[in-house]
Amino acid sequence: MRLSWYPATLVERRAETPTVATLVLRVPGWPGHLPGQHVDVRLTAEDGYSTQRSYSLAAPDHGAVLEITVQALGDGEVSPFLVEGLVVGDPVELRGPVGGWFVWSPVSVAGLVDRVLLVAGGSGVVPLMAMVRARHEAGSTVPMRLVYSVRTPADVIYADELDRLAKEDDGLEVLLVHTREAPPGSGRPAGRLSADELATLAWPPADDVRAYVCGPTAFVDAAAAGLVRAGYHDAAIRTERFGGE
């Protein structure tokens, strides 16, 4: 099915870290989406120059209001403008929703005892946060564990919300792995998430566990391989890689 472009307007910007912002967009006529899906964002300059990039949706379906979370890359063409240059009232165009494999919804597991393992590298947490928020909003008690690899404490996207939800929601666990700078008293020195460590943080492989892994290509490949080595079947692991600028 051919996807349509929808006119959208920025209605709010929220700073998440010094280089990351959430953009709240109003999109009349939006058909709805599932947590884990993404959209294409198109910008068109006054001289007619147009460019587009893909970004994950950061929240579950809320009708005509969508959220994307964007990290400004130093050498990027689009992401720095979205994070720093787009102002409330500015127009963009969205096409989507895109993707049907890397999705999860509490409705899809109603009555089941599935456990959900989320493994994020950096801004790969964005589509996984949509799943965390969907679980919370539905009042779901499906066990969900987020293993989030991030450089420093200051780089944790959605830090306050993740901390709050982990305290409020039964069955939600948030495990942070810092790769360059660990917070005082963390008990774990800074370092990359290894396959052996991931095996200890993940649930043991079982028929009722599904894993979602998102982040840069190298991170996703290593994490997925680590889960397979730990005994997970390929069919139990869903991956999403990102790049862009």
Q: What is the pLDDT of residue 77?
A: 85
Sorted by sequence, the CB contacts under 8 Å of residue 101 that are 6+ apart come out as: 238
Q: What is the pLDDT of residue 48?
A: 81
Cα–Cα distance list, 106 to 35, 151, 194, 210 (Å): 10, 30, 30, 13
**What are 127-144's pLDDT values in tens digits?**
999 999 999 999 998 999
- Mean pLDDT within 162-173: 95
Structural domain ending residue among the three candidates 68, 98, 128: 98
Residue for token pair 């109603």: 110
Same-domain pairing of 21 and 118: no
- CATH no. for residue 120? 3.40.50.80
Same-domain pairing of 139 and 220: yes
Q: What is the pLDDT of residue 243?
A: 63
Q: What is the pLDDT of residue 127?
A: 98
Sorted by sequence, the CB contacts under 8 Å of residue 58 that are 6+ apart come out as: 22, 67, 68, 69, 126, 127, 129, 130
Confidence of residue 3 (pLDDT cuts 50, 70, 90): confident
Does the pLDDT value for residue 110 go beyond 80?
Answer: no
Query: What average pLDDT does the structure give for the chain?
Result: 93
Q: What is the pLDDT of residue 109?
A: 54
Same-domain pairing of 184 and 130: yes
Same-domain pairing of 235 and 154: yes
The percent of residues above 70 in pLDDT, for the chain, comes to: 96
Same-domain pairing of 134 and 79: no
Same-domain pairing of 173 and 120: yes
The percent of residues above 90 in pLDDT, for the chain, comes to: 82
Same-domain pairing of 77 and 118: no
Q: Is 153 exposed, middle or buried (0-12, 13-18, 19+ CB in 10 A)?
A: middle
Structural domain ending residue among the three candidates 98, 133, 161: 98
Does the pLDDT value for residue 83 go beyond 90?
Answer: yes
Same-domain pairing of 127 and 237: yes
Confidence of residue 112 (pLDDT cuts 50, 70, 90): low
Structural domain ending residue among the three candidates 43, 70, 98: 98
Same-domain pairing of 175 and 200: yes
Q: What is the pLDDT of residue 245?
A: 52
Same-domain pairing of 126 and 84: no
Does the pLDDT value for residue 113 go beyond 80?
Answer: no
Same-domain pairing of 121 and 92: no
**What percent helix, strand, coil does the chain show, rounded to 5?**
25, 35, 40
Number of structural domains (the chain) is 2
Q: Domain range holding 129? A: 106-242
Confidence of residue 124 (pLDDT cuts 50, 70, 90): very high
* Stated pTM of the model: 0.94
**What are 168-196's pLDDT values in tens digits?**
998 999 999 999 999 998 889 999 999 99
Does the pLDDT value for residue 73 go beyond 80?
Answer: yes
- CATH no. for residue 42? 2.40.30.10
Same-domain pairing of 132 and 86: no
Does the pLDDT value for residue 162 go beyond 60?
Answer: yes
